[in-house]
Amino acid sequence: MGAINYIIPFILLITIVVFIHEYGHYYFAKRYGVAITDFSIGFGKEIFGFNDKNGTRWKFCFIPLGGYVKFSGDRNVFSQSEQEKILKKYNQNDRKKLFLTKPLYQRALIVAGGPLANFLLAIFIFTCVYMFVGKDFTPAKIEEVSINSPAEKAGLQKNDIIIGVNNNKIESILEVSMFINSDNNEKINIKVLRNQNELNFETTPSIINSKDAFGNDIKKKIIGIKIGPVNDQFKKQKLGPTKAFFYSLKETWFVSKTTIKFIGSLIQGKGDTSQLGGPIKIAKISGQVAEFGFLAFISTVAYISISLGLVNLFPIPLLDGGHLMFYLFEKILGRPLKQKTQEGFFRIGLFLLMFLMVFTTFNDLKDWGLF
């Protein structure tokens, strides 16, 4: 697969999720009367752009790894340093258009608007998929239990219908492996329907080195069962708007919850750090899913959008969550943190982000067999 087949889908994917993220900031800024000088997709030298009637420069830049919205009188969407010097440069009317003069709740909403837009994008995509393509509701039947496997030792049997995994209701055959592998607990609780009776079994899965659908190396949990559809029939159903919206919310929440649990396991030293990836891994995945067609690609856009929105809410300076943390301090103290304190936090945040970038890049290169 040529590099161009990775680059084009990657740029398209990043452009969509970054544009939506930055538009979230832009929307709330416009709503509260903040003057905006730049709306940029990418960093570095401008490739092309245009000015709208309000004087905002909309542009695409050379490095497509993010974006920003810049406000009048501010270095970027969040900076509040040197407030007094900035205010002296503007007359009374123009001061009302500055981000730093807005009430605390408005600044918080402008900052939170980016992650919120990412979640809304994912919900919109999932809703459309469930309405126009459909959602799988095929019951999962155990067709085979391997000898001496964790499943056999736990008491699972052929023809059991799996209806739950670790308190998650199983509504599709596709969810069984997903729930087993997304759980960080050592033991897995399997609820089955056997002769119209609900039974619970606890099993400890084995962890093996495997491949995902794209041939990438992964660590996979298995309990030693082969599952198939009841009556050998797959059940895919197009949903109405309300039901589709409900399941899109459910999917977005599940991805967010699973991501938070995974990060928690990393902090505790229990998570698999090899699964962390950066831009190179995203580029590889976007190129691979693009080969499977539009549906696979747009679904990946939804998952990446959730990840971007969620990561940006972490209380790390330089991220949206870090600035929301500052606003919380401001609310509690009745005043903003001192500039030196903020700069100290920003240095810590920069170090953490640089460390994460280096670590994920190493993982990406390792995944490509370069280490």
Element (H, E) at 105: helix 104-132
3-state DSSP assignment of residue 214 = coil
Q: What is the CA radius of gyration of the chain?
A: 24
Query: How would you classify the pairing of strands 188-194 and 161-165?
Result: antiparallel
CA angle at residue 367 from 361 to 370, to 5 degrees?
80
Question: How many residues appear in the chain?
Answer: 371
User: Quick count: other Cβ atoms within 10 Å of Cβ 259?
Assistant: 16
Q: For residue 35, which phi and psi values (nearest 5 degrees)?
A: -75, 135
Catalytic-residue membership of 143:
no
Identity of the amino acid at 72: S
d(CA 162, CA 150) in angstroms, rounded, equals: 15
Active-site residue, selected from the candidate residues 22, 143, 175, 343: 22
d(CA 202, CA 5) in angstroms, rounded, equals: 44
Two structure tokens written together for 292:
């499977």
DSSP label of 252: H
Torsion angle in degrees (nearest 10) through CA of 97, 101, 104, 105: -20
In our burial notation (b when 16+ CB lie closer than 10 A, e otherwise), range 93-106 reads eeeebbbbbbeeeb
Question: How many CA within 13 A on the CB side of residue 301?
Answer: 28
Identity of the amino acid at 34: V
Active site residues: 22
